[in-house]
Amino acid sequence: MLDLDTDLPDRDTLITHLALARSPRVGTVTFRRLIATYGSTAQALAALPEHAARGGMKGYRPVDMAAVEREVAMAADVGAVPLLLDQAGYPERLRQLPDAPMLIWMRGSMPDHDRGATAMVGARNASALGLRMARTLAAELGELGHVVVSGLARGIDTAAHEAALETGTIAVMAGGIDTIYPPQNLDLAERIAAQGALLTEAPPGLAPMAKHFPRRNRIISGLSDSIVLVEAAERSGSLITARMALEQGREVLAVPGHPFDARAAGCNRLIREGAGLVRSASDVVEALAMPSPMGISEEQLVWAPEPPSDGVGDALAALLSPTPVAEDELIRQIDRPAGQVMAALMDMELSGAIARHPGGMITLA
């Protein structure tokens, strides 16, 4: 649990961390590599233009420091505290993700989730049965000591948060910490901030848009050790979240429904594809007792600094296209040390030559 007196970063640390995180084209992979290379955010920030130039771009400009100051002030105005990727207090499960948020704004305090954290996702236009199931499951999970993580949306999310308020719940938002959506959940959000945690990686003031949800959803599953789909139609966003959770190595579970009920179609499809079938909280606990088939190794997260190298960028440019290729695949195909390839990729990312996608995929931008 975060100790607000000792674990909060000092202002300078926060400002440079945020500046690096908000600088153009700095994603988590690059952020980590820069910190590993330079040892401090301040030095990494200073080195950005040089890397971008090496990747082929002249005139790279880090973030506007006035914007950084503004973000910090706006967050402070609503009483939000920052959790920094490389600092104490940052949620450990989330930190394991290759694309973990570099910074999180939080209101409230992180509930103790040593006993487990379960994400609950599902339809916004849930049925009465679905809502009842979400409430029952969230309450049962809470009794078993699990924190319930969800997205503050209407329907399943709202039911899950409400039933877990007393025992511990975390709402992950797609917009800014000061921008509650949907508006009818303003009161629920306040209660979550008072009794649990309300958090987001977005800067204050950002209104949530559809395109933000997939990235938000990776935080919901990233904070959790299992994710339960309560009611979800075919081709629903919840299904995408479930697949992403699977890639994160999370235990993916779903509540079944009758095949004639279209609102169960997504859940039933997931179960057919191997997701665990959930009837009650004890099924969630049982699933967690089994070893997870996937997991992200430490090596993917920590790098030693590597000297710049010539020619790797050209070789990479030849291999890359708008079709996503895995970073691992690139490293295999180029006959140079992996660290050199990764360093060159960082330079290319900063210069805007390439873009990174979930699952370690890379495209030519």
Choosing from 59, 260, 289, 297, the residue that interacts with a second copy (CB under 8 A) is 260
User: What is the closest distance, in whole angstroms, from the C-beta atom of residue 126 to a second copy in the complex?
Assistant: 12
Q: Return all residues near 313 (Cβ < 8 A) that are at least 6 apart.
A: 54, 55, 56, 344, 347, 348
User: What is the closest distance, in whole angstroms, from the C-beta atom of residue 136 to a second copy in the complex?
Assistant: 8
Choosing from 255, 284, 285, 312, the residue that interacts with a second copy (CB under 8 A) is 255
User: What is the closest distance, in whole angstroms, from the C-beta atom of residue 280 to a second copy in the complex?
Assistant: 7
| Residue ranges in 272-331 that form contacts with a second copy under rule CB under 8 A | 272, 276-280, 283
Q: Which is nearer to a second copy, 74 or 129 (CB)?
A: 129
| Sole window of 96-104, 256-264, 314-322, 331-339 interacting with a second copy (rule: CB under 8 A) | 256-264
Let me know how long the chain is.
365
Choosing from 23, 30, 236, 268, the residue that interacts with a second copy (CB under 8 A) is 268
Cβ atoms of residues 300 and 333 within 8 Å: no
Which amino acid makes up residue 158? T
| Sole window of 36-44, 112-120, 208-216, 258-266 interacting with a second copy (rule: CB under 8 A) | 258-266
Q: Which is nearer to a second copy, 52 or 123 (CB)?
A: 123
Q: Which is nearer to a second copy, 2 or 287 (CB)?
A: 287
User: What is the closest distance, in whole angstroms, from the C-beta atom of residue 260 to a second copy in the complex?
Assistant: 6
| Residue ranges in 79-138 that form contacts with a second copy under rule CB under 8 A | 129, 132-133
Q: Which is nearer to a second copy, 168 or 257 (CB)?
A: 257
Distance (Å, whole) CA 253 – CA 214: 19
Choosing from 257, 266, 313, 360, the residue that interacts with a second copy (CB under 8 A) is 257
| Sole window of 17-25, 46-54, 266-274, 333-341 interacting with a second copy (rule: CB under 8 A) | 266-274
Q: Which is nearer to a second copy, 279 or 357 (CB)?
A: 279
Of 219, 216, 220, give the one whose Cα is nearest residue 118: 220
Q: Which is nearer to a second copy, 118 or 217 (CB)?
A: 118
User: What is the closest distance, in whole angstroms, from the C-beta atom of residue 151 to a second copy in the complex?
Assistant: 22
Which residues are 171's β-sheet partners?
150, 198
DSSP string, 130-166: HHHHHHHHHHHHHHTTPEEEE---TTHHHHHHHHHTT
User: What is the closest distance, in whole angstroms, from the C-beta atom of residue 284 to a second copy in the complex?
Assistant: 12
Distance (Å, whole) CA 350 – CA 57: 8
How many residues bind a second copy (CB under 8 A)? The answer is: 21
Distance (Å, whole) CA 227 – CA 119: 4
Q: Which is nearer to a second copy, 260 or 299 (CB)?
A: 260
| Residue ranges in 136-195 that form contacts with a second copy under rule CB under 8 A | none
- DSSP run (H or E) holding 46: helix 41-54
Of 193, 111, 97, give the one whose Cα is nearest residue 152: 193
Which residues are 169's β-sheet partners?
148
Distance (Å, whole) CA 30 – CA 13: 18
Cβ atoms of residues 168 and 139 within 8 Å: no
User: What is the closest distance, in whole angstroms, from the C-beta atom of residue 231 to a second copy in the complex?
Assistant: 9
Q: Return all residues near 32 (Cβ < 8 A) that are at least 6 apart.
A: 85, 301, 302, 303
266 makes contact with a second copy (CB under 8 A): no
Choosing from 98, 182, 256, 352, the residue that interacts with a second copy (CB under 8 A) is 256
Residue 144 — φ and ψ, nearest 5°?
-85, 5
DSSP string, 265-287: HHHHHHHHTTPEE-SSHHHHHHH
DSSP state of 235: T
Q: Which residues bind a second copy (CB under 8 A)?
A: 129, 132-133, 255-261, 264-265, 268, 271-272, 276-280, 283
